[in-house]
Every structure is written in C-alpha cells, then in structure tokens.
Structure 1
Amino acid sequence: MGARVSIGDFAVMTSLSRKALRHYHDSGILEPAHIDAHTGYRFYDTSQVDHAHIIRRFRSLGMSIPDIKALLTTDDAAARTQIITTHLEQMEAQLQQTRDTVGALRELLSPVHVPAHVEVQHKPALAVWSVGATVDVSDIDDWFGAALTTLRDAVAAAGREPVLVVPGGLYDRALFLESRGAATMFVPAPESADPPDGVLAEVLPPAEFAVLTHAGGHDGIDRSYAALGRYVNEHLISHQGPIREHYLGATPSNPMTFSATEICWPIFSTTAPPH
C-alpha cells in the first residue's frame, strides 16, 4: 500500500476528473481505497495511480468499460492478449470505415459526370430461376447473400457450374422511394431441369434498357446510378419498371464477390427491337 490521498490530489495525479472517477467507481473498475462514513469523501491510494493511468489510456483508445474490467481482473495472459487484439481489430475496421467515408465525401465535391459508355440495349426474353421477397433496404445485404446462395446451390444440384452463371437482380422502385419493396434474385435457368422447392421458374419479358457498368464493388454505386439516371432523363424516356442488375466477375475462390455490376435502367424504346 502507498499513501492515502484526497480525490482532488488523485485527479491531479491521474488526469481523471471527479465525474470520471465517480463513473469508474460505479462501474467497479476503480474503487476508492476508503470512503469516509460520515462525510462520504472518497480517498485513493497512491498505489492505484498506475491502475488509473491504464484505464485512462484504454478509454482514450475507445475500449469499453466491460473490456477494461475484464482486462484488469484476469490473470490469464492469453485472455488479456485476446482482449487487446480484438480491440485493435475493431479500431482498424473503424479506421478503414473512416477512410472510406472521407473518400466518399471528397468524391461528392466533384460533379457527377455522365460516362461515355452508357449503352442502349435490347434484352431478349430470358428463362430464369428466381428467388423473390419484399425486403427493407436495411436487410437487403443479408437477403442478397441468402438468395444468391440458394440459387447457386440449385444450379449446382442441376449439374451446372455456379460460378459460370451470371446472377442478376430486379429491384422495384419502392425500394428506392419507400425503403421497402420487392426484390428478386435470378440466374439463367439450366436446361432440362426443374427448380427445387423455394426457387421459381419464370421468364423475364424482353425489354429496352440504358446500361452502365459500374466497376468494382458496391461502394460508389450511387454515383453510377446518378450518372445513368441523368443520362436517361436527359437523352431518353425513363420507364418506371424495376431496375435490373447483373453481377459480373465472380471466381471459384470468391463466388460471392463481384468485380463489376451492370446496371440496367428501363426505358421506352422508339425503335423496333433487333430480330
């Protein structure tokens, strides 16, 4: 034990405010060495200074109170290492998210440019296997992964190579306008095979689209949507049907990762489709 000190002196020694010390007391990670029964004054011991510095340092690095408590109360070196490693991984993920956000904000400083590679395409009727649902935008990533897995498994069961099949999606305008709407994931239907339970066989009707290929992952796809929408509304006639996407570039080692997304915006055609 060291010398007993007042809360004021302890605050100076540790750079912890009265409010912080009270919070850490209530949390059980830094309790006073003595509390006067009559006055309620709290006193600390000089031997607690290093303990307080550790708490302050980890709190400044964003570590949670429960994790600090677990770190300080365990004698298991491996457990302490795991707690610190997990927190470092969380910090690295947050740092990457911050970098991505900064990049997106810098990109917003520049105007949306209409790329030269917007094409008008006629998509013929297409027999597909599909999985559809009404989803919230907040849940669409989870739904996307589950639906794509279902379709890939169905294609594999039919004796086809799932990676060679280019999947696509249909997204109702309500998803964009109301944050909830119909979504359908589809793949070209394997020949001479019936879909399993939970998978629908249907035919997508022929349609005209303005098509833009967004390179890379989903990040920044909103800018591609903006560029395509501007082109459509300035040069063509927009159709209010569902938006169609095709997902390109999956590999056997990364079947759920795509190198590009083909965005198909439905339009009214003023010419006859090709024969």
Structure 2
Amino acid sequence: MGAQVSIGDFAVMTSLSRKALRHYHDIGILEPAHIDSHTGYRYYDTSQVDHAHIIRRFRSLGMSIPDIKALLSTEDAAARSEIITSHLAQMEEQLQQTRDTVGALRELLSPVRVPTHVEVRRERALAVWSIGATIETAEIDTWFGAALTTLRDAVTAAAGADRAVVPGGLYDRALFLESQGTATLFVPAPQSTDPPDGISAEVLPAAEYAVLTHRGGHDDGIDRSYAALGTYVNERMISDQGPIREHYIGSTPAQPTTFTATEICWPVFSTTPHPD
C-alpha cells in the first residue's frame, strides 16, 4: 500500500476527471481505497495510479469497458494477451475501413471518367439454370450468396465434379429506380440434365450490350464503373431499357462470392441485324 490521496490529487496524477473516476467506481473497475463515512469523500491509494493509467490508455484506444474489466480482473497472462490481441485486430480492421473511406472520398472529388475501352458485344441465346426473386436492394447481398451457393451445388451434382462456372445476373431497372425489383442469378445449364427443385431452366434471349469490365469486388467503386459505362452509352449509343446484366469472373469453389472482376453489360439498341 502507498499513501492515500484525495480525489483531486488523484485526478491530477492520472489525468482522469472527477466524473470519470466516479463512473469507474460505479461500474467497479476502479474503486476508491477509502470513502469517508461522514463526508463521502473518496480517497485513492498511490498504488492505484498504474491501474488508472491502464484504464485511461485503453479507453483512449477504444477498448470497451467489459474488455477492460476482464483485462484487469485476470492474472492469466494468456487471457490478457488474447484480450489485447483481439482489440488490436479490431483496431486494424477499423483502420482499414477508414483508409477505404478516405480513398473513396478522394475518388469522389474527381469527375466520373469516361472509360477508355467499352466492348460492344452480341450475347447469343443461352440455356441457363436460374434462380429469380423480387427483392429489396437492401436484401440483395444475402439473396445473392444463398442463390449462388444453390446454383453451384446443383451444377456440381449434375456435372459430377466441381465444374468451373462463370455465373451471371440480370437486374431489373426497378431495383435501381424503386429499390425493389426482379433479380435473376444464372449459370450455363449442364447438358442433358433437368434442374432440381427450386431452380428454373430457361433460355436467355440474344441481346446487344455495351460491356465494361470492373476490376475488383463490388465494394471497390463499382458505382463509379456503372456511372462511367452509363455516360459512355448515353453519349455515344442508344440505351435500351432492358435489365442490366453482370458476369462474375474469378471466383473459386472455396470463395464462390469473391470475384476478381465483374463484366457490366448495359443493353443497347443495335442498328445492324445479327443472325442467331
């Protein structure tokens, strides 16, 4: 034990305010060494200074009160190390999120660039297995993951092996305009096989598209790629109001919803007839 000091002196020694000290007393992570029964004054021991510094430092680093309480209540070095390591991992994740946000904000300071390469492509009629639904845009990620898993499992079972597939999606304009609309996820249909329950067999009609390849995932500025492609189409071509089509490239069986690139296919009117 050291010397007992007033709450005022302890506040100076620890850089913790009276309000903070009272709060930490109330929640049980830094209790006074003595409380005068007549005056109610709180007194702390100088041996509690290090304890107070630990609390203040970790609170300034964003550690939660329950984690600080667990950290201070255990003598197990491994348990302490696990709590600190877990908090460091959270801080690194938050730092990366901040960096991503800063990068996105900087990108928004620049005008949308018209893409240097847009391919005009005639997609032939394609037999597919598909899953469609009318969904809210807020639900699309959850629906996408479940539908893609179902389609991949079905193709794998039908083909007898984990066949590499390039899935695609069709997205009604209402999804963008009204935040609710029809979405359809598809994969090329295995030959001479009927789809299982819950999956439709259909033929996508031939259509003309302006195609821009977006590098990276959907969180890597795909909205800017959409804006760039839409600008290109409306300034140079005739936009069709059919559904937007996407092709998802570079996924693996281990990470089926992670892609290295997405082909954005914007429907356009063709002035030249194409034989099917």
What range describes the TM-score normalised by the shorter chain of this pair?
Answer: over 0.9
Distance apart, 1:254 and its partner CA:
4.3
> Closer, same or farther in 2 for the Cα pair 1:181/1:65, shift >3 Å?
farther
SS in 2 for 1:164: coil
Question: Higher mean Cα deviation, 127-136 or 77-86?
Answer: 127-136
Distance apart, 1:51 and its partner CA:
0.5
Question: Higher mean Cα deviation, 29-38 or 6-15?
Answer: 29-38
Q: 1:160, 1:172 → 2: CA distance?
A: 33
CA contact (8 A) 2:136 2:180 kept: yes
Aligned to 1:24: 24
RMSD: 1.9
Please give the residue correspondences for 1:136-155 in structure 2 after superposition, counting only pairs within 5 Å. Answer: 136-155=136-155
Aligned pair 1:260/2:264, yes or no?
no
> Closer, same or farther in 2 for the Cα pair 1:40/1:270, shift >3 Å?
farther
Q: Which runs of 5+ in 1 are unaligned?
A: none
Please give the residue correspondences for 1:80-229 in structure 2 after superposition, counting only pairs within 5 Å. Answer: 80-159=80-159, 161-218=161-218, 219-229=220-230
CA contact (8 A) 1:163 1:251 kept: no
Distance apart, 1:27 and its partner CA:
2.3
Distance apart, 1:26 and its partner CA:
2.5
Aligned pair 1:272/2:270, yes or no?
no
Question: Higher mean Cα deviation, 35-44 or 217-226?
Answer: 35-44
Q: What is the TM-score normalised by the length of structure 1?
A: 0.92
Q: Which runs of 5+ in 2 are unaligned?
A: none
Aligned to 1:239: 240
Q: 1:21, 1:135 → 2: CA distance?
A: 51
Distance apart, 1:253 and its partner CA:
5.4
Q: 2:32, 2:133 → 1: CA distance?
A: 57
Q: How many residues align?
A: 275
Question: Higher mean Cα deviation, 155-164 or 109-118?
Answer: 155-164
SS in 1 for 2:131: strand
Q: 1:2, 1:134 → 2: CA distance?
A: 70
Q: 2:213, 2:261 → 1: CA distance?
A: 7
Distance apart, 1:162 and its partner CA:
4.5
Partner deviation per Cα, 1:31-64 (whole Å, 9 max, x = no partner): 2222333433322221111101001111111111
Distance apart, 1:76 and its partner CA:
2.1
SS in 2 for 1:97: helix
Percent identity, please: 80
Question: Higher mean Cα deviation, 32-41 or 141-150?
Answer: 32-41
Q: 1:118, 1:49 → 2: CA distance?
A: 65
Q: What is the TM-score normalised by the length of structure 2?
A: 0.92
Q: 2:54, 2:134 → 1: CA distance?
A: 50
Partner deviation per Cα, 1:45-102 (whole Å, 9 max, x = no partner): 2111110100111111111111111111122222211111111111111111111111
Partner deviation per Cα, 1:217-256 (whole Å, 9 max, x = no partner): 2211111101001111112222222211001123455443
CA contact (8 A) 1:163 1:250 kept: no
